[in-house]
Amino acid sequence: MKQLEADVVVAAAGTAGLAATVAAAESGAKVITFEKAATVGGAGNMARGPFAVESKLQKHRKIAVTREQAFKLHMEYTHWHVDARLVSAYYAKSAGTIDWLEKMGVEFTDVQCHNYGFNFTWHIIKGPLVPKEIPGTGVVMMKILLEKARELGAKVYLRTPVKKILKEGGKISGVVAEDEAGEEIRVKAKAVIVATGGFGDNPEMIKKYTGYENARGMVPGATGDGIRMAWEAGAAPTPMILHGGPGGTPGMMELIHINYTLNQPNLVFNMDGERFMNEEIAQISPFGANAIATQKNHKTFGVFDEDTKQFYLQKGWDFPPGILVSEPMFTPDNFDKEWKKAIDSGNDHIFTANSIEEIAARTGVNPENLKKTIAEYNQACETGQDEVFFKAAKYLKPVKTPPYYISVRDGVFAFGTLGGIKINHKTEVLNKNFEVIPGLYAAGYDANSLYWDTYIFYLPGNTLGFALNSGRMAGENAAKFISGNQ
């Protein structure tokens, strides 16, 4: 058994963990960070950029959204179910966190929004962005944070997960970790920060705590370790939600022209062969996930015809990518090539059909219901009036001209989970009596859900933004706690 000593131990080196490590070390604390993976960054490596409001870059771009507006939108969206002081503290810190990152060498190219009508709060990190690397540019920021942490003297151990949080006399006293060889490491510490990234790669926990079945995790290793350990140490649980999108085909992110085309507001039907939503919500992935979750077996299908494909080739997508990258991404120029590649690889989530009967046979839906649904939908396209779900006329494209392109959407993608460990606005962990557990902090995906039942897409960059800012807050406050200044 190895024995180590530190002021602060950080459990995991993802976005929140690295931010906490740097912040605590900057404040003079001796920090040890343990990461169970072979690399740092976690889900943050796939990110494009964090949320911030009233940043210098926004002001330079003449983007007028204010902290007050963002706060009010957030609280109204969540119906005040979430911790208002935590939301306010996070938003107040967000602009300064962009400055903090820039001083370390992180560069931001622009401020964007995910979709039409959303707020320009998404600060895009400068980095390599070509199709094979999608997603993201967050990996650049993770590298810089790691370098800064080490420069400040923090020790970062890879392939070394934290196994248990230790307490003595009601206070945090350290952790037990395990190295790659299986040897136990006991660390004496006055403060512990939990930042293990939620349980987005744990189907059993997802089903138990969020109600979603057939969810496919996108971040290997996010299995809820930190939440479990914090609960064992007395932390109170919070509501937990899935941060996800409609399920689809594994590996489709690499086939960007297919991926974006399938996510346009095309006709969608369920296993009964009926429409069940306004397909415009395809641009808001959490809403799409919610809609699919209400359907039989969490399984649905999308369809568009050859004329619609040609429309996208000539005019571009109705919903283009969320950030301005390379020109070819705005039209599905390589759609046919990618479609063939996917079919040839044995992909069973997409197929082409030449008749409605063939669509029904391949999907297993009721053929008469499907014929009726498509006929009613085509009538709505002709009149420009969707009397059922009120989809805007400009997005109504009939399904008439074969070949038809069909996608199967079963379950949801789990970008991650949000919530689990109850904290206050200082990121201190609370027990079931709302009392602070001295020396225990939580940040990022593991901490309070700020979104109640559905992630707030209207303020883009929020997940990464909260991870960065809550991690920074946790690091600063943990350092103050051990110095007796909190």
Do residues 244 and 43 make contact, with C-beta atoms less than 8 angstroms apart? no
* Judgement on whether residues 330 and 401 belong to the same structural domain of the protein: yes
Q: How far is the C-alpha of 231 from the C-alpha of 341, rounded, in Å?
A: 47
* Judgement on whether residues 203 and 185 belong to the same structural domain of the protein: yes
Does the predicted TM-score (pTM) go above 0.85?
A: yes
Do residues 243 and 261 make contact, with C-beta atoms less than 8 angstroms apart? no
Going through 83-144 in order, the beta strands assigned E by DSSP cover 108-112, 122-125
Q: What is the pLDDT of residue 326?
A: 44
* Judgement on whether residues 290 and 223 belong to the same structural domain of the protein: no
Q: What is the CATH number of the domain that holds 100?
A: 3.50.50.60
Q: What is the pLDDT of residue 327?
A: 44
Among 447, 448, 444, 479, CA closest to 16: 444
* Judgement on whether residues 353 and 440 belong to the same structural domain of the protein: no
Query: What is the number of domains present in the chain?
Result: 2
* Judgement on whether residues 349 and 405 belong to the same structural domain of the protein: yes
Alpha helices in 119-235 (DSSP H): 138-151, 203-210, 225-232
* Judgement on whether residues 427 and 343 belong to the same structural domain of the protein: no
Domain-ending residue, one of 392, 410, 428: 410
Q: How far is the C-alpha of 443 from the C-alpha of 224, rounded, in Å?
A: 13
* Judgement on whether residues 74 and 18 belong to the same structural domain of the protein: yes
Domain-ending residue, one of 410, 433, 467: 410
Q: What is the CATH number of the domain that holds 384?
A: 3.90.700.10
> Hey, how many other C-beta atoms are within 10 angstroms of the C-beta on 241?
21
Q: What is the DSSP letter of 51?
A: B
Domain-ending residue, one of 375, 410, 445: 410
Alpha carbon of 164 to those of 18, 79, 178, 187, 482: distances in Å? 20, 36, 10, 11, 20
* Judgement on whether residues 319 and 279 belong to the same structural domain of the protein: yes
Range of the domain at 192: 2-243+416-483
By DSSP bridging, strand 299-304 and strand 267-270 are antiparallel
Do residues 88 and 425 make contact, with C-beta atoms less than 8 angstroms apart? yes
Using a 10 angstrom Cβ sphere, with 0-12 exposed, 13-18 middle and 19 or more buried, the burial of residue 101 is: buried
* Judgement on whether residues 94 and 122 belong to the same structural domain of the protein: yes
CA angle 182, 186, 191 (to 5 degrees): 130
* Judgement on whether residues 141 and 112 belong to the same structural domain of the protein: yes
* Judgement on whether residues 370 and 259 belong to the same structural domain of the protein: yes
* Judgement on whether residues 372 and 435 belong to the same structural domain of the protein: no
Q: How far is the C-alpha of 221 from the C-alpha of 458, rounded, in Å?
A: 28
Give pLDDT < 50 ranges for the chain: 130-134, 250, 324-328
